[in-house]
């Protein structure tokens, strides 16, 4: 029994440490994205991109897309690892992260980078939908840094919104579908933030409703 408890504590500690490092890694990638954005701003001004002919302006946009792409890929991979951390124990998560990275690498080598990223995002989307369903059902098997029903549902919705947003960017040529998905994204993110940031108020509203029902 004691051994089981110690093993449980160790596993929780490992998961917590992984969560901590994932947050630091996300912060690092976001910092790199910020630096590139600032570089882009100054370059835009100094190279007078605004006044360039359309073809050269498009070339600039492509170059910048190329510069930022590895970091966006990194962010998507981190997202792909962050999503199943709610479902899997730490030891499985390492294996999953390795498998995801290798699969993305193989897909980008055999097909192209867009296909690999779409696959990572599609896998993340499916897993996130599972996480959301479990969070809504109040499952205790999910691993969250914070407890509380609405915090978990909210956090799941925010991450679902983020995955959908990135996935939706790949569909920008299909305007109607693109905008429809965009509004779904916005709805999920807004609801998620309200549930996550104001969990106790939301819980209070639902409790009052339950109490007033005959």
Partner 1 sequence: MEHLVPLTRFGDIGNGIIWILAFFAVLVGLSGIVNLFRPIRALQRPTGYLLVLLAVVFLAGFAWIGWFHHQIYVRLPLALPANLAQFLNSHLQMMNQGADFGLPLYDAAAPPRYVLPLWLENEKYYFWFMCYALLALPAHFRMQHPRLRAALHILLAVQVGILFGAANPFADPLPNFFGAVEPWFTGNLSPAQRFGLFMQLYPKMIFYYNAEYMWFHPPLLFLSYACITVTFVTSVFMLVRREQEVEKMGYDHARLGFFLLTLGMLLGYPWALKAWRPNWWWDPKICSSIMMWAIYSTYLHTRLYAHKPFMWYFSSFLGILCFLAMIFTFISSFFFPGEHTFV
- Summarize as ranges the residues that interact with partner 1 (CB under 8 A): 20, 23, 26-27, 30-31, 33-34, 37-38, 40-41, 44-45, 48-50, 58, 60-61, 64-65, 145-146, 172, 175, 179, 182, 185-186, 189-190, 193-194, 197
Residue that the structure tokens 């100054």 belong to: 42
Q: Which is nearer to partner 1, 44 or 94 (CB)?
A: 44
Angle in degrees, 0-180, between the axes of helices 54-82 and 149-169, rounded to the nearest 10: 150
Minimum CB distance to partner 1, residue 156 (Å): 16
Q: Which is nearer to partner 1, 37 or 115 (CB)?
A: 37
CA distance 198 to 148: 11
Minimum CB distance to partner 1, residue 186 (Å): 5
Q: Which is nearer to partner 1, 55 or 137 (CB)?
A: 55
SS (H, E, C) 82-104: HHHHHCCCHHHHHHHHHHHHHHH
Minimum CB distance to partner 1, residue 42 (Å): 8
CA distance 134 to 204: 22
Radius of gyration, alpha carbons of the chain: 21
Minimum CB distance to partner 1, residue 176 (Å): 9
> Closest Cα to residue 189, out of 157, 213, 211, 164?
157
Q: Which is nearer to partner 1, 172 or 206 (CB)?
A: 172
């Amino acid at each position: 029994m004691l051994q089981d408890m110690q093993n449980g504590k160790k596993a929780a500690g490992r998961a917590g440490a992984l969560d901590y490092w994932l947050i630091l890694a996300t912060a690092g990638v976001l910092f790199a994205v910020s630096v590139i954005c600032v570089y882009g701003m100054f370059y835009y001004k100094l190279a007078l991109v605004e006044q360039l002919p359309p073809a050269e302006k498009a070339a600039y946009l492509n170059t910048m897309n190329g510069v930022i792409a590895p970091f966006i890929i990194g962010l998507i991979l981190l997202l792909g690892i962050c999503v199943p951390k709610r479902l899997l124990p730490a030891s499985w998560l390492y294996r999953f992260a390795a498998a995801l990275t290798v699969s993305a690498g193989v897909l980008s080598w055999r097909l192209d980078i867009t296909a690999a990223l779409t696959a990572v995002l599609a896998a993340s989307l499916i897993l996130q939908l599972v996480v959301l369903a479990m969070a809504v059902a109040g499952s205790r098997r999910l691993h969250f840094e914070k407890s509380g029903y609405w915090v978990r549902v909210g956090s799941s919705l925010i991450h679902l919104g983020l995955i959908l947003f990135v996935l939706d960017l790949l569909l920008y040529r299909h305007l109607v579908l693109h905008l429809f998905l965009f509004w779904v994204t916005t709805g999920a993110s807004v609801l998620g933030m309200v549930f996550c940031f104001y969990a106790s108020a939301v819980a209070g509203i639902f409790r009052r409703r339950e109490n007033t029902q005959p």
